[in-house]
Amino acid sequence: MVEQSELDWIAQKAAELLADKVKDSPLADRDIELAFDIFAKPRLERLSNSFQSELERRQARDFIMMKLQERAKQLNAEHWQKPE
Protein backbone atom coordinates (compact mmCIF):
# COMPACT_ATOMS: atom_id res chain seq x y z
CA MET A 1 0.00 0.00 0.00
CA VAL A 2 1.34 3.41 -0.99
CA GLU A 3 1.19 6.14 1.63
CA GLN A 4 -1.01 9.16 0.88
CA SER A 5 1.87 11.46 1.83
CA GLU A 6 4.02 9.82 -0.84
CA LEU A 7 1.39 10.53 -3.51
CA ASP A 8 1.04 14.10 -2.24
CA TRP A 9 4.80 14.57 -2.56
CA ILE A 10 4.81 13.22 -6.12
CA ALA A 11 1.93 15.55 -7.05
CA GLN A 12 3.63 18.52 -5.41
CA LYS A 13 6.91 17.95 -7.24
CA ALA A 14 5.15 17.44 -10.58
CA ALA A 15 3.23 20.67 -9.96
CA GLU A 16 6.55 22.53 -9.72
CA LEU A 17 6.95 21.91 -13.45
CA LEU A 18 3.60 23.62 -13.99
CA ALA A 19 4.66 26.57 -11.86
CA ASP A 20 7.61 27.14 -14.19
CA LYS A 21 5.55 26.72 -17.37
CA VAL A 22 2.69 29.07 -16.37
CA LYS A 23 5.04 32.04 -16.63
CA ASP A 24 5.22 31.55 -20.41
CA SER A 25 1.54 30.92 -21.18
CA PRO A 26 -1.67 29.68 -19.56
CA LEU A 27 -1.56 26.01 -18.71
CA ALA A 28 -3.50 23.53 -20.83
CA ASP A 29 -4.40 19.87 -20.43
CA ARG A 30 -1.32 18.93 -22.44
CA ASP A 31 0.91 20.70 -19.90
CA ILE A 32 -0.67 18.70 -17.09
CA GLU A 33 -0.14 15.46 -19.00
CA LEU A 34 3.50 16.37 -19.67
CA ALA A 35 4.13 17.16 -16.00
CA PHE A 36 2.60 13.81 -15.10
CA ASP A 37 4.59 11.91 -17.75
CA ILE A 38 7.89 13.59 -16.89
CA PHE A 39 7.78 13.46 -13.12
CA ALA A 40 4.93 11.40 -11.68
CA LYS A 41 4.72 8.44 -14.05
CA PRO A 42 8.29 7.19 -13.51
CA ARG A 43 7.85 7.42 -9.74
CA LEU A 44 4.56 5.55 -9.83
CA GLU A 45 6.22 2.86 -11.92
CA ARG A 46 8.94 2.50 -9.28
CA LEU A 47 6.20 2.06 -6.68
CA SER A 48 4.35 -0.53 -8.77
CA ASN A 49 5.16 -3.35 -6.34
CA SER A 50 3.55 -1.34 -3.54
CA PHE A 51 0.14 -1.37 -5.20
CA GLN A 52 -2.10 -4.24 -4.21
CA SER A 53 -4.17 -4.13 -7.39
CA GLU A 54 -4.62 -2.45 -10.73
CA LEU A 55 -7.49 -0.48 -9.18
CA GLU A 56 -5.18 0.95 -6.53
CA ARG A 57 -2.66 1.88 -9.23
CA ARG A 58 -5.37 3.70 -11.23
CA GLN A 59 -6.59 5.47 -8.11
CA ALA A 60 -3.08 6.72 -7.41
CA ARG A 61 -2.75 8.00 -10.97
CA ASP A 62 -6.16 9.68 -10.82
CA PHE A 63 -5.31 11.29 -7.47
CA ILE A 64 -2.12 12.82 -8.85
CA MET A 65 -3.84 14.01 -12.03
CA MET A 66 -6.60 15.62 -9.93
CA LYS A 67 -4.00 17.43 -7.82
CA LEU A 68 -2.20 18.63 -10.95
CA GLN A 69 -5.44 19.89 -12.51
CA GLU A 70 -6.32 21.78 -9.33
CA ARG A 71 -2.86 23.35 -9.20
CA ALA A 72 -3.00 24.28 -12.89
CA LYS A 73 -6.32 26.09 -12.36
CA GLN A 74 -4.87 27.93 -9.38
CA LEU A 75 -1.72 28.93 -11.25
CA ASN A 76 -3.68 30.09 -14.30
CA ALA A 77 -5.89 32.22 -12.05
CA GLU A 78 -2.88 33.75 -10.30
CA HIS A 79 -0.93 34.53 -13.46
CA TRP A 80 -3.46 35.07 -16.23
CA GLN A 81 -6.74 36.41 -14.83
CA LYS A 82 -7.22 40.04 -15.51
CA PRO A 83 -7.66 42.20 -12.40
CA GLU A 84 -11.11 43.71 -12.16
- The confidence score (pLDDT) of residue 83 equals 61
Domain holding 69, by residue range, is 4-80
Query: Are the CB atoms for 44 and 57 separated by under 8 Å?
Result: yes
Statement: residue 84 has pLDDT above 60: no
Looking at beta carbons, which pairs linking 44-49 to residues 24 or more positions away fall under 8 Å? Answer: 44/10, 47/2, 47/6
Query: Are the CB atoms for 51 and 60 separated by under 8 Å?
Result: yes
CA atoms within 13 A on the CB side of 5: 0
DSSP 53: S
- The count of domains in the chain is 1
> What's the pTM value of the predicted model, to 2 decimals?
0.89
**Tens-place pLDDT, residues 21-74:** 999 999 999 999 999 999 999 999 999 888 999 999 999 999 999 999 999 999
